[in-house]
Amino acid sequence: MPGTPLITELRAALGADAVLTDPDLLRMHQRDEADLCAAGTPAVVVRPRTTEEVVAVVRAAAGHGVPVVPQGARTGLAGAANAVDGAVVLSMVAMDEIREIDPVSRIAVVQPGVVNAALARAVAEQGLYYPPDPGSWESSTIGGNVSTNAGGMCCVKYGVTTEYVLGLEVVLASGEVLRTGRRTAKGVAGYDLTRLFVGSEGTLGVITEVTVGLRPAPEQSLTLVAVFDSVASAGDAVARIAAQGLTPSLLELLDRTHLSAIEAYRPMGLRTDAEALLLAAVDTGVRAPGDLARIGEVCTAAGADEVYAATDAVEAAALLQARRLAHPAMEHFAARTYPQGNGGLVIDDVAVPRAALAALLDGVARIAVECDVPIGVVGHAGDGNMHPNIVVDRADPDSVARGRRAFDEIMRLGLALGGTCTGEHGVGLLKRDWLAEEIGPVGVRVHQAIKSALDPAGLLNPGKVL
């Protein structure tokens, strides 16, 4: 393989240090963090540093008829970054420059390999705020966030990634470079090509630069915790909070399985006897104490048996950190449940209207019993986006089959409640069939027409989304 014409061409364009063929490195770049999704072995991994080098890679791969799979930090949870056999994996992690922060226009221009938390900290130094904050914000990249239209804990008030992407530089399958969007506060000329590429998971082009909008830094937030004796009651509290016109900056739910898993993973005094916990925050300045008190009153009326506010910023940060630990804690729980490396997680990502949240949570509990699999539920309750985590034994085909059945039943329930098959993780390999179910035959044809127009040879991240 190291002597193939494609490898020779890539080395000539990028230099030998940016073209990786070591078998161990190829294995490292086979997949993202989605469990039970198929992954192939790439022929080569390349790490371009400039847009021009990305152009060279795309053109070389096209000339040899070889698929190209773009990757960021590989923190995705739907298999969107999984390699296919013989592909060129286009790792964007070396393109990690924050090129500009403009406090007057409130924008930043970054390369796709910039880590989310690095951007957040850089703009904070200038009194600005980049709101999208996926759970993997300390490692996930802006390019990956844009490609999957990532969300996070602040979405309930500030929205998902697409709300902040003002413009893109994209290398098309032809090797041409397309610039979309604008830097202006307003701009409505032509089709919205920027949003077309946001969430496209590398199937329409390779993102090489992102212009994002910023906000003024919010006021310091106040945080409370509400403890419930049923998950459905916590879901009902969320609907009541929305009905009261309250706008928390964060409204997260953790069920008993997650509380126990987090406490076992990193003890911090959580109420493991509770069936559900709501974590709420407000950042409304002088109104914050009153707003937080009203949220507490709504939770009490919905059946919370305990409501308490964080006493200071340190305690509030600890509660937030507990929520961020949900995913690694559940991985640890799966490993303890099925030892010898056999414990796996099938992570669902379903969003429903807030009014349907209690019905979704009740349904997930029923599905867990019917399919005889452990399911823990965590998620962004404030916008109806929940993550049922299905625990399976990889070594037991029956356990895996029951886990997949539970996954499908949750998807079916979410759509029946007027929801969507993914709120923030993307489609990838995991949810292609459910996307087709959600958008219908006409929607599928439109998606396919767009893909064919921009990537007629089908070489960009093949098999993902549709």
Q: CA 304, 308, 309, 310 torsion: positive or negative?
A: negative
Largest CA distance in the chain: 70
Euclidean distance between CA atoms 223 and 406, whole angstroms = 34
User: DSSP readout, 164-178?
Assistant: GEEEEEEE-TTS-EE
Q: CA 77, 81, 84, 86 torsion: positive or negative?
A: negative
The string of pLDDT tens digits covering residues 374-391 is: 999 999 999 999 999 999
Q: What is the CATH number of domain 5-91?
A: 3.30.43.10
The secondary structure of residue 359, as a DSSP letter, is H
Residue 227's SS3 state is strand
- Rounded to an integer, the average pLDDT of 234-258 is 95
pTM: 0.95
- Rounded to an integer, the average pLDDT of 410-421 is 98
Euclidean distance between CA atoms 80 and 23, whole angstroms = 22
The string of pLDDT tens digits covering residues 251-288 is: 999 999 999 999 999 999 999 999 999 999 999 999 99
The string of pLDDT tens digits covering residues 187-203 is: 899 999 999 999 999 99
Q: Tell me what pLDDT residue 35 has.
A: 87
Q: Tell me what pLDDT residue 145 has.
A: 98
Euclidean distance between CA atoms 445 and 186, whole angstroms = 32
Residue 220, pLDDT > 90, answer no
Euclidean distance between CA atoms 466 and 456, whole angstroms = 14
Which of 29-33, 34-38, 156-160 shows the lowest per-residue confidence on average (mean pLDDT)?
34-38
Residue 247, pLDDT > 70, answer yes
Euclidean distance between CA atoms 19 and 7, whole angstroms = 8
Q: Tell me what pLDDT residue 135 has.
A: 86
The C-alpha angle with vertex 144 and arms to 142 and 146, in degrees rounded to 5, equals 70
Residue 401, pLDDT > 90, answer yes
Residue 182, pLDDT > 70, answer yes
Q: Tell me what pLDDT residue 2 has.
A: 54
- DSSP H or E segment with residue 306: strand 306-309
Which residues face 169 on adjacent strands? 179, 209
Q: Tell me what pLDDT residue 311 has.
A: 85
Q: Tell me what pLDDT residue 422 has.
A: 96
Using a 10 angstrom Cβ sphere, with 0-12 exposed, 13-18 middle and 19 or more buried, the burial of residue 51 is middle
Residue 1, pLDDT > 60, answer no
Question: What residue ranges do the domains of the chain occupy?
Answer: 5-91, 98-216, 222-416
- Rounded to an integer, the average pLDDT of 346-365 is 95
- Ramachandran region of residue 385, left (φ > 0), alpha (ψ -120 to 50) or beta? beta
Give the CATH class of 222-416: alpha beta
Percent of the chain with pLDDT over 90: 92
At residue 305 the predicted structure's pLDDT band, cuts being 50, 70 and 90, is very high
Q: What is the CATH number of domain 98-216?
A: 3.30.465.10
Query: What distances in angstroms separate CA 378 from CA 43, 345, 373, one per listed residue?
Result: 38, 13, 16
For the chain, the average pLDDT equals: 96
